[in-house]
Amino acid sequence: MQGRRVLVGIGGGIAAYKVCEVISSLAKSGVEVRAILTQSAQQFITPLTISTLCRHPACTDQDFWQPTHARPLHIELGEWAEVLVIAPLTANTLAKLVYGLADNLLTNTVLASTCPALLAPAMNTDMWEQQTVQRNWTQLQSDPRYHPVGPGAGMLACDRIGTGRMAEPAEILSCIDSLLHTKGQRDLAGKHLLISTGGTREHLDPVRFIGNPSTGKMGIALAQAATHRGASVTLVHGPVEPGLLASLATVRAIPVVSAAEMRQALLEYFPHADWTIMAAAVADVSPAHYSSAKLPKAALPAMLPLEPVPDIAAELGSLKRPHQKVIGFAAQTGDIVTPALEKLLRKKLDAIAANPIDQPDSGFGSDTNQAVFLDSQGRQRAIGPCSKLQMAHQLLDFIQSV
């Protein structure tokens, strides 16, 4: 993210306070951030606050009309930005964008730029549900330059419960990250991706199970990256923290617990998938006997009889049709390439991502990851430590070339 350029336009609404976290996070990650405040935005948040967080002076309409720049300010800002973010997007600015109006610095800059624009609307529920606002929102999304995020539902600042909450900073940041990678291209439009994630639990009784430390973050990042690139996604996931799924409003999420349930769900949706990415940490064995009542401690067997669970990736690899691709993951220690390559060939996969889970900030539970991608043609690509969303995009790039 070092040196990337993001321009943030701030509209007039109470949700403007959330933009502070977005700008601060971007700046801390090395992104160069500039900001434009509309006149109404300054009623909610000050240019001094934004300037401090950006590490650069915030721009206002007062700057727009001052002949203090070598080039027109809106042209300079529009050409500088790699991604333009408007948050909060008000009903007023939305209407101006639809009709190409330019009566302030922000809207002039929008017309003077060609970079992808991320729009995060926020307003009262009754305002959001007006037919005119919905018509404008629908029409604007038909322009491939504009990328929507939110709004969400919940308690609003006006005490109304409903739709109109601006997307949370974490969701906005992930969309910005994706746009910087894709430059706004929806290159997976028309594709259906089936993704598995999270760990499975093989229960001995209602309270005890064989499991693993998978949190599902990698598969969720893959689902985010794929939807940001225009794909439709079905996500089959083991037990994960509910908050991790909050940003996947357009994803069909299928919760499962055991390997058997995951297999059943994947087999159901597999015929409709173009790509299937097996990022889940599926159990290899399960207890041979299940007790429907909790076993007393004294009744626990000294040696637990186990039985293998079906190899889902191998089954899907044998079922795939010519237009389908099946991609696996291999969590390894030590030499990660040799066992991953063996798994790739044995299970008839098209590609595999080998993760070194014995390295710092990599693998289970981490927000970052690293890997070696391999395909069935013998190609390898090493991916250094990065966020799981960035790795997801790089894996999707790799799959396209398989």
Angular region, 322: left φ>0, alpha ψ -120 to 50, beta rest: alpha
CA distance 9 to 19: 9
CA distance 37 to 47: 7
The active-site residue out of 54, 158, 175, 386 is: 158
Residue 222 to residues 118, 197, 251, 395, 401, Cα–Cα distance (Å): 20, 9, 11, 9, 17
Token representation of residue 69: 């720049």
The reply to whether 175 belongs to the active site is: no
First and final CA of the chain: distance in angstroms?
Answer: 27
Collapsing DSSP to helix, strand or coil, 112 comes out as: coil
| DSSP-derived secondary structure letter, 113 | -
Closest CA to 258 of 284, 223, 289: 284
Residue 260 to residues 43, 104, 160, 283, Cα–Cα distance (Å): 56, 58, 43, 10
Helical packing angle, 47-54 and 16-28, nearest 10°:
20
> What are the backbone angles phi and psi of residue 132, rounded to the nearest 5°?
-65, -40
- What is the tally of helices (H) and strands (E) in the chain? 14, 19
Give the type of residue at 249.
A
Closest CA to 370 of 382, 385, 380, 359: 385
CA distance 142 to 146: 8
H helix runs in 55-104, sequence order: 61-64, 73-80, 91-99
Indicate which residues carry an active-site annotation: 158
